Each structure stands twice: as C-alpha cells, then as structure tokens.
Chain A
Amino acid sequence: MKYALFLGCTIPARSRQYELSARKVARKLGIELVDEEKFICCGFPVKSSDLKSAMVLGAYNIALAEKRGLDLCALCSSCTSALTEVAHHLAHDEEAKAEVNESLSRVGLTYDKGTKVRHFARVLYEEVGMEELKKHFTRSLEGLRVATHYGCHYLKPSEIYENFDQVEDPHTLDEMVALTGAAVVDYANKKRCCGGPVLPVDEKTSLAVAKEKLDDIVEAGANAINLVCPFCSVMYDSNQKGIETAFNASYNIPVLYLTQILGLAMGMDRKELGLNMNVVKTKEALAKYAGGE
C-alpha cells in the first residue's frame, strides 16, 4: 500500500500530533506514505468565496499525485471531501476539466484521469481491514469509554463517497475503536457537526454548536472523544476551555485522534503519539495504558 500523503494546511501547523501518530500507525501497518512538498491548500476554505478557484486548487493537488501515479490519502476530513468532490466532478464534466487544465497548463501540469482520494481512516477500514489491524494490537484499551465523532466531511456529501460508510448510521470509526477493547459510548446527536466552519464568521454560534455536543458526550458518560479531522479537534480540544468559560460548563474530556487511539492499542507510548501535544490533558485518563512522557 502506497499513497501520496496530503497534509493540508491545519495539520502540519496546528495538529502535529495527528500527523505524527498517523505516520507511526502507517509505518507499523506497512503503509507507505509519500511526501509531496508541492501540495498546497485543498481548496475547501475557498469554496464559499470562489468555487472555481477551489476546483483549480483541488485539481492541482490531484494532478500532482496523478503525475506520480499514486492515490491520495488525506488526514483531514475537509481536505478529503474537497479533493474527492473535485475528482468526482471532473470525472463527469469534460468542460470543467478543460477549463481546469487551462489553469494547470501554466504550471506544467495536466489533469487526465485524476486519482482516487481517500481519508486515512477509510484506508485503515477498507484497505487494511479489521482483521489485519487487530493483528498489530498488543494492548487492550478496556476501561476507556470513547464517544466517536464522525464529523461531516468524512462521510458527506455521500454521493462522492461510494457508500463506504452510512451517513445516517455510521459505523467505521466505532468498529475500529471497539477493536481496541475500548467501549464505544452512544450519545444524542452523534451525527452533528462540530461548528468549525462557522468560526471565522460568528465565533459565538460556532462555539454554541460545539458545546451542544460536548454536553451530550459528557452526559452519556464518555471519558474520551475520538475524531478524524483537525477542524473538529480545534473545536473540541483547542476551544474546550473557551467553551467552558463562555458557557460556565465543565468537561475536561480528552480529545484523541483515531490514530492516537490505534497507536495506543499497538503499544506505542505517549511521546510517539504526540499525546503530550493535545490541549486537554490526556495523561490522567490514559495513565493505565500509556507509559513515558
């Protein structure tokens, strides 16, 4: 298994623990992630202002991977959806492809057939598979009560994702978390958005959306949140303290990337997984499982 690794903007600057743990987990599973330093923004943040430019950005990145003959693997759900949407769209629209290629010709690239785009979690679920994944686990996470947050763009819009999971009843993340021995906690409004994309427009509304979910998760008795997107992590981890202050609430619930949870089950220590870089402290909740600092 070999993929061009698409990091996007947020992860290398703000979520290095995600990148670190994903690379560690990939290496353990024998997945080769190839770095392409020419990748730029996926286009997602430009969609609302200029759909055409967003498509050029997406197509540029896909064309780079295509040139190398590699499928794309992204860690961020928004990058995954923006790039998958472009690939989906250009596969069905020759006119749009010609227009995009006019822009790409200026940088010496051509978008021909494109390449397949997958989220890293999807690669783990579909390409590695549950049986193979379990073979690498050396430690049970029994006792950990995890609320999985799918977020939006890992699953939606469903028309671009070939039904690899079910939008109204998603299961892929739950299955992988349960495989570690951790309990998956069901909670109200599980499918709801983190509110992240509204943050640059209306902080109060954005935080209120995130607060609703934190309330539901804590009420259900979870002691950790699992997610697969750095935007969602900004809302629940980086902004958790701010939400507590703004709404006079108390959560103190660690927010873990799927790759950190899987890495723990693979016997990796705190530092290898960047657990010391999470904003909400993880040490106490994970003391039973992870050694070192």
Chain B
Amino acid sequence: MADIDLTKADPKFKKDLAAQPGGEKIMACFTCRTCTASCPVSAVNSRFNPYRIIRMALYGLKEEVLQSDFIWLCSSCYACQERCPQGVSITDFMTLLKNMAIREGHAPSGIRAQRDLIKGQGRIYAIDEFDNKKRNKIDLPSLPTSCEVVKVLFPES
C-alpha cells in the first residue's frame, strides 16, 4: 500500500463523521488493532484493514477512503464492534462510510444492483409462477409475484 499523503487531507472530515450515526465515538479509537485482529476478512485479504480505515478517516483522507474498493469488503459481522475496548461502533461506522460513498457516486455494481432490485420489486429474488409451482408442490403457500408497495414507499427512486 502506498504512503499516506497528508497534503490531500480534509481536516473537517472527522467532525463530519462524528456527527452521523455510526461515527459518534470514532475519535476514541486508540489504535489497539483489536478490530483488525478480530476481522474474518482481514484474515484472508490484507486489503481490508478496519484499523487502517479508521486512521485514514481520522487523518481526513476523505476521497481516498470513499473512493476505495476496500470499504466494501466489510462483511458487517460485528466481530470488531463487539470487541472494541473504546466502544467504537466500527461496523456501523463502515456502513456510514459506504452510505457516504454511494451519495458521492462510488459503489460496486453488485451493491447498486441489489438496491435497485429491492426498490424496484420489493425483494432480491422476485417470485414467479414457476417458483410458486415448486412451492405448492411441497405444500408451501404461493407468494405474490409482483410488488407495488415499494414504489409508493420510495417514490423518488
């Protein structure tokens, strides 16, 4: 990984984060790295390192963090959050970073596709007549094959 370039830093970023759900206690991080040691993703892929992401965010490396592909590697398993001795809601913090990244136009295509599917049809896997046939065959009840209510719930999308 390249060296951190502090000339790109945005000193307001950490305050912005601390004002949003998931970021409240981020400044309490004292770099013990319990999060990284507990992380099942870090164990197999060193590109994901929660301790380093928190540091980068606190240094104000906003663009580098929000444009990164590594924030999307968080599996939201909460292992880090449960163990953080400083009470940082690390998993919720990763969710906050992902939400901000999306608002700035960065997101892996798989994540966008998931969101669009759900806001369009109400579920990840739409149920069709064939599914209902398979369900009925083993005495499971039919499910609706279309969903209008999501369009009313989310008129903007």
- Enumerate chain A interface residues (CB-CB to B < 8 A): 7, 9-10, 12-14, 16, 19-20, 23, 35, 37-38, 40-41, 45-51, 53, 56-57, 60, 103-104, 106-107, 152-153, 156-158, 167-168, 189, 191-193, 195-198, 200-202, 205-206, 208-209, 212, 274
Contacts and interface: CB of A to CB of B under 8 A. Distances in A.
B41 A198 contact: yes
Given A56-B154, A201-B108, 10 more contacts: A40-B149, A46-B114, A51-B99, A106-B153, A152-B77, A158-B82, A195-B75, A198-B41, A202-B45, A209-B75
Nearest to B134: A16
Given A45-B118, A201-B111, A212-B44, A103 B95 contact: no
Contacts of B69: 201
Contact of A40 (B96, B122, B135): B122
A10 B123 CA distance: 9
Nearest to B83: A168
A35 B144 CA distance: 12
- Residue picked from A16, A47, A209, most chain B C-beta under 10 Å: A209
B125 A13 contact: yes
A101 to B, nearest CB: 12
Nearest to B76: A197
Contacts of B108: 200-201
A48 B134 contact: no
B157 to A, nearest CB: 8
Interface residues of B, number: 55
B150 A9 contact: no
Contacts of B99: 48-51
B131 interface: yes
Interface string B30-62: 000000000011011100100000000000000
A264 B30 CA distance: 50
A56 B125 contact: no
A27 to B, nearest CB: 11
Interface in B121-157: 122-125, 127, 131, 134-135, 138-141, 143-144, 147, 149-150, 152-155
B18 interface: no
B95 A51 contact: yes
Given A16-B135, A200-B108, A103 B78 contact: no
Contacts of A41: 118, 122-124
B112 interface: yes
A201 B153 contact: no
B131 A37 contact: no
A142 B91 CA distance: 40
Interface string B89-115: 001000110110010000110111111
